[in-house]
Structure 1
Amino acid sequence: MRVILPPSETKRDGGDGAALDLDGLAFPELRDRRSAVLDALIELAADEEASVRALKLGRTQLGEIDRNRQLRSAATMPAIDRYTGVLFDGLAAESWSAADRAFAHENVVIQSALFGPIAALDEIPAYRLSHDSRLPGLRLRAHWAAESGAALSRPSGLLVDLRSEGYAALGPLGADANAVYVRVVTEDGDGTRRALAHFNKQAKGRLVAALVASRARLDDPSALVDWGDAHGHRFSRTQRIGPGGVAEIELVV
């Protein structure tokens, strides 16, 4: 099983890891792609006004440009600790045991606009780049889609895709992948279901925390639904067609 998460715009500063080592990241076949984006982002950081436009920064966010300037020399920390925000608060990774973290490293992937898919404990610096950012001479979706999708789709049991559609487009899985796209919804008193915005991230974080705690190893979408029934996570049993043609089910919260 492999769970695929989106990243977060917000990230912790600092870290006690050595400078970025591209050779140490998961999916080593993506090294050259990562290096190209890294070089483009550092080059962009030399021009403050261009960075503001490309990264959609407010005037109180100019420190993000400094982060990007220092990408090759800054301290690193595990990706699961680097990202912050509602989804990662829901994970509560700071409370995980060493065994939890080891399981997550094998089974949880984060789709980064800068690095492509990375494993939970991959050591990365703080940075600013989103799926819809515009780098000079480099279109992120075209740059990442085929290679990231192929890397993610290697046989590994069920792929549980919790990415937003923007990040899913950076590594589409394809209709033939053993994958399920999870959409979070709420159910009104009359049975009407509607998509959640803010709280869908919290639900995804808690779902992944439970998958890690239970050491879940799932082979197909129906196994995820059965696991949910046993662990207090209610999934629909009706499948639709989700992004890229993969199966889609709803997580009802």
Structure 2
Amino acid sequence: MLLLLPPSETKVQGGTGRSLLLRGLSFPELTSVRSRVLTGLAELSRDRDAAIRALKLGPQGHGEVAVNRAVRRSATLPAVDRYTGVLYDALDARSLPEQAREAAGRLVVIQSALFGPIGALDPIPAYRLSHSSNLPGVRLAPTWAEPAGRAIESRGGLVVDLRSEGYAALGPIRDTDRSVYIRVVSVDGSGHRRALNHFNKKTKGLFTRAVLESGIDVDSIEDLAAWAGTAGFVLRPGVVAGEWDLVVPDEALASTASRAG
């Protein structure tokens, strides 16, 4: 089983590991593609103003251009510790028990715009690049889609796709018999279904953490759904073939809104 996660725009700066070693990343068959995207990022980063525009950086984000210029020589961190934000705060990988963290190394793959699919424990530097960014001579979706999707499928087993649609497009899974796309939704008392934003990311993080702590590794979405029910989650077939809903009860939303107010 693989759990596919999106990355995050926000990242921890600095690191404790040696500089980037492309061939040390998971899916080494993607090394040449990674090198090409890195070359495009380096070319963009030579022109500060062009980089600011291409990366859609606000005034507080202008320093990201210097981060990108240093990406090949910067210190690294495990990918799952590098990313921050709602999903990764909920996952809280640094506090995982040792066995659960080892499971993350086997089961969790993060879809990076810069590096393609990488393992949760792969050492990566800080960088700034999103799925919608433009690089000189490199269109990210066409560049990544076929090789990244093929690399993920080569692992075999059930693929549980928790990526956002933008990042799923960087490595689409063609074998729908062995993959399932997860949408986080709420369902009210009348059965009306709606997609979520903040709770989408938080629920994915909590769900991933629960899978890792449980030690499960299943071969079918039905088995995963059966386990989910015992762990306090509702995972059920969605309205589109090949998609399943991870349901957040309306009362959970109301409770959180009440505390926030």
CA distance in 2, matches of 1:220, 1:239: 19
- Partner letter of residue 147 of structure 1? P
1:244 corresponds to: none
Does residue 1:182 correspond to 2:177, yes or no?
no
Does residue 1:135 correspond to 2:135, yes or no?
yes
Q: 1:177 deviation in Å? A: 4.7
1:251 corresponds to: 246
The one-character-per-residue Cα deviations of 1:145-199 (angstroms, maximum 9, x if unpaired) are 0000000112432100000000000000014450110000011232211000111
CA spacing shift, 1:129–1:240, aligned 2, 3 Å: same
User: Retained in 2: the 8 A contact 1:153–1:177?
Assistant: no
CA distance in 1, matches of 2:181, 2:145: 17
Within 5 Å, which residues of 2 pair with 1:87-98?
87-98=87-98
CA distance in 1, matches of 2:177, 2:37: 27
CA distance in 2, matches of 1:31, 1:175: 23
Does residue 1:105 correspond to 2:105, yes or no?
yes
- Partner letter of residue 199 of structure 1? F
Within 5 Å, which residues of 2 pair with 1:191-230?
191-230=191-230
- RMSD over aligned Cα atoms: 1.1
Q: 1:5 deviation in Å? A: 0.1
1:13 corresponds to: 13
- Partner letter of residue 27 of structure 2? F
Does residue 1:47 correspond to 2:42, yes or no?
no
CA distance in 2, matches of 1:173, 1:38: 24
What secondary structure, in the 3-state scheme, does the structure 2 residue paired with 1:190 have? coil
CA distance in 1, matches of 2:181, 2:94: 26
Q: 1:238 deviation in Å? A: 5.0
2:257 corresponds to: none
1:77 corresponds to: 77
**Structure 2 gap ranges (5+):** 249-261
**Structure 1 gap ranges (5+):** 242-246
The one-character-per-residue Cα deviations of 1:114-155 (angstroms, maximum 9, x if unpaired) are 000000000000000000000011100010000000001124
CA distance in 1, matches of 2:12, 2:92: 14
CA distance in 1, matches of 2:103, 2:156: 14
Q: How many residues align?
A: 248
Within 5 Å, which residues of 2 pair with 1:149-164?
149-164=149-164
Q: Identity across aligned pairs (percent)? A: 53
User: Retained in 1: the 8 A contact 2:237–2:243?
Assistant: no
Q: 1:98 deviation in Å? A: 2.2
The one-character-per-residue Cα deviations of 1:186-218 (angstroms, maximum 9, x if unpaired) are 112322110001110000000000000011111
What secondary structure, in the 3-state scheme, does the structure 2 residue paired with 1:117 have? strand
What secondary structure, in the 3-state scheme, does the structure 1 residue paired with 2:154 have? coil
CA distance in 1, matches of 2:177, 2:75: 36
The one-character-per-residue Cα deviations of 1:71-120 (angstroms, maximum 9, x if unpaired) are 11100000000000000011011211222111100100000000000000
Instruction: Give the 4+ runs in structure 1 shifted more than 6 A.
Output: none
User: Retained in 2: the 8 A contact 1:225–1:237?
Assistant: no
CA distance in 2, matches of 1:99, 1:220: 22
State the TM-score, normalized to the length of structure 2.
0.92
CA distance in 1, matches of 2:117, 2:86: 20
The one-character-per-residue Cα deviations of 1:6-30 (angstroms, maximum 9, x if unpaired) are 0000000011000000010000000
What secondary structure, in the 3-state scheme, does the structure 2 residue paired with 1:184 have? strand
